[in-house]
Chains A and B, each alone.
Chain A
Amino acid sequence: MTAKKEESSYVKRSDGRKFDETREMRAEVGVIKNADGSALFAFGDTVAVAAVYGPKHLHPQHLQNPQKGILRCIYDMLSFSVPERKKPGPSRRSQEISKVTEWALSSTLDLQDFPNTVVDIFITIISANASTRVAGINAASMALAHAGVPMKEMVSAVSIGKIDKTLVVDVSKEEEDYEEGEGATDIPMAFLSKSGKLSLLQLDGEIRPEELKRALKLGKEACKKIYELQEKALKEKKTGEE
């Protein structure tokens, strides 16, 4: 369905998964009691936790938007989430991810009724095995809903990889590091649940236009399954329990 197997060197996934199979996913809501909303999302060993605080008062004043509330997103990784310790503090990579994450989520939010306020989302990667930003977006989307922030639809994200010439769903670190043939192309993407629109798209590697279209199609399908998991987690959270 996706691989030109006779031309690609990547005929079997390193962990034995099918090409369109994600790792074992986990979704849970309400994991941080102090937060207004919180959630955990995992693709195998990649675990992201998101906490939402707000809408709340925003300091300093010059950052306020008098017409609607703003969204502020901070993505970070624990130092020991990766094999070689990551120095604490924001890197340029984490700042960029924070921004694209904010953009992936903000179109679904309706903060017209909350001028001059801020909704803070903190995404922390507890354990990393590639596909961290998409795990973060999945957790953040649930956390925002959980917090009761007015939201038009959910956001589901996944990474599609082109490993040599083979398209795969949910890229692992081993796949990200693949070097044979055309190497690895990593394509994180996010889709909105109701409108089906694309709210996150990034790519690094080498890909043909036709392959990209197929990758987007694969991603959209995978995101439907992810949405089901997010929905289940939010509905299992019993109405009385916070």
Chain B
Amino acid sequence: MEISKLTKKRIQEYIKEGKRFDGRDLLDFRDIKIETDIIKNAEGSARVKFGDTEVLAGVKMDVGTPYTDSEESGNLITTVELLPLSSPRFEPGPPGIEAIELARIVDRGIRESGYLDFDKLCIKKGEKVWNVLIDIYSINDAGNLIDVSALAALIALKTAKFPKYDEKTEKVLFGEITNKKLPLTDKMPITFTYYKVGKNTIIDPVSDEQESSKSRISVSLMNGKELKISAIQKGGEEPFGKEETEAIIDSFPSVLEVYIKKIEKTFKLE
């Protein structure tokens, strides 16, 4: 059932006072649960929950020919499927724009940060490279699929291992895994999304809060010596004012800190 006008109104009123129905601060996350290496046939897998929102991400590897404009680099392909089983609002069928945009947001965060060392995925220049395929599935949508998906993808990537590769036949031995992790740098991208509700902004909305919001901004940050931004996406039709935008940018370090603390309660990021 859709959210009613009254609940939407109440959510906005409450948020205006800096409060939320579940008692969280405006810029706080729900409790996070993370499990890794849960799917035998995946080279890497992660199950992530923020409250009741649950996402499963898996990494599959394959070898292929490189693109002509990047002969020494492997490839990353990120796909998201918003499964009908996860919410009455998803219909069966090919990925719609919501799934496509989500996949691209997650992909940009990883790609632009330089976290995955594409050159180290090269087997033979111009001929054979590794392809990394991240597939993300929604299992229960209770709001904020973007952030849960981004984290699940990151952790699946982080814990993934190469499958065995036969150099003579130049074929991957699917089902047999090595102990070698993927070539990752220290530029780990952490993605989170700000949702605009009325004149305020919140982090990690539950479904009702998300439905009360008309715009959002997702950012992918790298927490190195210096705080840097590797990707941004504004979604939704409502524009953001100058002060609003600057306030969001100014909050990056504190939200990042809160987020990392919450993640580390269940999973060591470094």
Contacts and interface: CB of A to CB of B under 8 A. Distances in A.
A and B touch in the complex (CB under 8 A): yes
B40 A122 contact: no
Contact of A74 (B52, B58, B79, B92): B92
Contact of A34 (B45, B56, B88, B174): B88
A128 B41 contact: yes
B224 interface: no
A38 B139 CA distance: 11
B147 interface: no
How many of chain B's residues touch chain A, expressed as a range? 20 to 34
B85 A80 contact: no
Interface in B84-101: 84-88, 92, 94-95
A124 interface: yes
Interface in A158-190: none
Nearest to A59: B91
A152 B56 CA distance: 34
B207 to A, nearest CB: 9
Given A32-B85, A120-B84, A79 B94 contact: no
B58 A80 contact: yes
Interface residues of A, number: 30
A224 B134 CA distance: 39
Interface in B119-139: 133, 135, 137, 139
Interface in B69-128: 79, 81, 83-88, 92, 94-95
B141 interface: yes
Contacts of A38: 85
A89 B79 CA distance: 11
B148 interface: no
Contact of A78 (B86, B135, B142): B135
Contact of B39 (A35, A76, A80, A84): A80
Nearest to B139: A32
Given A80-B43, A85-B135, A127-B39, 6 more contacts: A33-B140, A83-B175, A88-B95, A126-B39, A127-B41, A128-B41
Interface of A: 32-35, 38, 45, 49-51, 53, 56, 74, 76, 78-85, 88-89, 120, 122, 124, 126-129
> Sorted from nearest, which 3 A-B pairs have the closest CB atoms?
A80-B58, A51-B85, A80-B42
